[in-house]
């Protein structure tokens, strides 16, 4: 399998190497598979026989070896969301639930496993990233399992669970007093100086391909079918582009039929540069200063923003945003209807989906997939003020009975 990188802008080809940017035109480099070798070889039957993890699609990934923790990553549940469907008055609703991805409870485990496989191939002893939290968790966990050292940079005001969930793996964690975009700039400068494998810098073309498995799984789990609508949260804008790429690759290989798939991107109103671009019909992305409780999406200068906007426009989808209150309501709605506790990014996506459905942009009789990419246990701070204990009582039956009788509707 050719492991070549190619510039997305000018098409210049590069051999496999830790690099993310075209030397000629500065466009981003992307990994490309030679499909002609795979048609008729990678079949539904062949994939279906394989273990239920993301490596069942390995021919479509830029890897030669699966790293140590990789064997259990991916193939998360595609939940049939009947209760939420009823609530919204839609007929066919699914949730792709990466809140329970292994090992660190977000879709970032997928991208990191590919990046770490490449880091090992390239001989890096240190891996790192700039992160809003989930990526830090995933890099720290998998680097520990692969006996690699880490250099992980985060904004210092991240949720405590995401900080603890990085430190526990013995990571070198640098908290930076600035927003993600400032952390990212610093990370780029560090990556320029030290020969380390930064998953979102010099390993980015490989890392990003891991996101495709989220899309492949949706298509396979739907019975080798394309949903008519997919809603995706956006931070840097990479996942939404790779979901579209997953659909296109499966179509090219004949694994699914050609049918339209509208893709929608969701951002928090306090950090919606990509949604703004789409809604206002702009060609250029204007960066913003993030101000939202959805910290995992708080990237004001998303590197893949223009490509994410293109995916929405080309597919017939659009962008939608959510306020902080709507984000909290979205988290609670998903939890109380489907029993799935997602993080703030999931709340953004749920709130955006609700708007798209209520406004009629997504018709109620068509199939819809909601992308849950992270776990609510990591961002509990965002919702603790909005939920409360039913009652605190003495350990007597009398106290319980009084509470029950005064409880009213909640118990019915």
**Least distance from another protein to the Cβ atom of residue 372, Å:** 15
Looking at beta carbons only, is 208 or 219 nearer to another protein? 208
**Least distance from another protein to the Cβ atom of residue 202, Å:** 9
In angstroms, the Cα distances linking 290 to 25, 102, 235 are 29, 29, 11
**Least distance from another protein to the Cβ atom of residue 209, Å:** 12
**Least distance from another protein to the Cβ atom of residue 388, Å:** 32
Instruction: Report the distance separating Cα 285 and Cα 117, nearest Å.
Output: 32
Looking at beta carbons only, is 239 or 329 nearer to another protein? 239
Instruction: Report the distance separating Cα 269 and Cα 177, nearest Å.
Output: 23
Looking at beta carbons only, is 130 or 261 nearer to another protein? 130
Looking at beta carbons only, is 84 or 163 nearer to another protein? 163
**Least distance from another protein to the Cβ atom of residue 253, Å:** 26
Contact residues for another protein, defined by CB under 8 A: 9, 20-21, 23-28, 108, 129-132, 134-135, 180-182, 184-185, 187-189, 192, 200-201, 204, 208, 235-238, 284-287, 289, 296-297, 299, 301-306
The DSSP call for residue 295 is G
**Least distance from another protein to the Cβ atom of residue 307, Å:** 10
Looking at beta carbons only, is 284 or 394 nearer to another protein? 284
Looking at beta carbons only, is 235 or 247 nearer to another protein? 235
236 closest CA partner among 184, 198, 292, 175: 184
Looking at beta carbons only, is 242 or 262 nearer to another protein? 242
Helix-then-strand count for the chain, H and E: 14, 13
**Residues 38/253, Cβ–Cβ less than 8 Å:** yes
Q: What backbone torsions phi and psi does residue 78 show, to the nearest 5 degrees? A: -105, 105
Looking at beta carbons only, is 179 or 226 nearer to another protein? 179
**Least distance from another protein to the Cβ atom of residue 30, Å:** 12
Q: In terms of residues, how long is the chain?
A: 412
**Least distance from another protein to the Cβ atom of residue 165, Å:** 15
The encoded tokens of residue 323 equal 């306020």
**Residues 264/312, Cβ–Cβ less than 8 Å:** yes
Contact partners, residue 91, CB within 8 Å, separation at least 6: 85, 364, 365, 366
* Helix, strand and coil percent figures for the chain, each rounded to 5: 45, 15, 40
First and final C-alpha spacing in the chain:
60
* 3-class DSSP assignment, residue 387: coil
Looking at beta carbons only, is 281 or 408 nearer to another protein? 281
In angstroms, the Cα distances linking 287 to 30, 215, 274, 298 are 23, 28, 9, 11
* 3-class DSSP assignment, residue 173: strand
**Least distance from another protein to the Cβ atom of residue 90, Å:** 29
């Amino acid at each position: 399998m050719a492991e070549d990188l190619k510039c997305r802008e000018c098409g210049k080809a590069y051999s496999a190497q830790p690099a993310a940017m075209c030397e000629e035109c500065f466009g981003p480099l992307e990994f490309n598979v030679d499909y002609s070798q795979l048609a008729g070889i990678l079949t539904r039957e062949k994939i279906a026989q394989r273990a239920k993890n993301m490596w069942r699609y390995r021919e479509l990934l830029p890897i030669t070896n699966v790293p140590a923790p990789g064997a259990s990553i991916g193939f998360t549940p595609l939940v049939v969301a009947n209760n939420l469907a009823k609530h919204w008055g839609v007929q066919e609703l699914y949730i792709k639930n990466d809140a329970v991805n292994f090992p660190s409870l977000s879709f970032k485990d997928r991208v990191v496993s590919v990046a770490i496989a490449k880091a090992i191939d390239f001989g890096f002893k240190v891996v790192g990233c700039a992160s809003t939290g989930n990526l830090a968790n995933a890099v720290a966990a998998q680097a520990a399992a692969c006996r690699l050292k880490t250099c992980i940079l985060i904004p210092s005001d991240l949720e405590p669970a995401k900080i603890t969930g990085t430190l526990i793996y013995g990571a070198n964690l640098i908290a930076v007093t600035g927003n993600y975009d400032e952390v990212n700039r610093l990370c780029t400068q560090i990556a320029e100086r030290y020969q380390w494998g930064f998953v979102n810098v010099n390993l980015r073309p490989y890392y990003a391909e891991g996101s495709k498995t989220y899309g492949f799984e949706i298509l396979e789990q739907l019975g080798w079918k394309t949903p008519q609508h997919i809603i995706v949260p956006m931070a840097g804008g990479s996942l939404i582009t790779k979901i579209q790429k997953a659909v296109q690759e499966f179509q090219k290989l004949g694994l699914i039929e050609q049918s339209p798939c509208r893709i929608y991107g969701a951002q928090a109103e306090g950090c919606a540069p990509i949604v703004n671009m789409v809604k206002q019909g702009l060609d250029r992305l204007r960066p913003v200063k993030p101000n939202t409780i959805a910290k995992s999406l708080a990237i004001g200068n998303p590197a893949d923003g223009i490509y994410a906007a293109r995916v929405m426009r080309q597919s017939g989808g659009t962008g939608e945003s959510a306020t902080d209150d709507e984000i909290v309501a979205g988290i609670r709605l998903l939890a109380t209807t489907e029993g799935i506790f997602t993080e703030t990014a999931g709340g953004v996506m749920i709130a955006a989906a609700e708007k798209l459905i209520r406004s009629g942009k997504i018709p109620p009789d068509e199939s819809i997939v909601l992308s849950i990419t992270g776990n609510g246990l990591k961002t509990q701070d965002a919702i603790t003020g909005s939920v409360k204990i039913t009652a605190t009582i003495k350990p007597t039956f009398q106290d319980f009975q009084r509470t029950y009788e005064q409880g009213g509707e909640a118990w019915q």
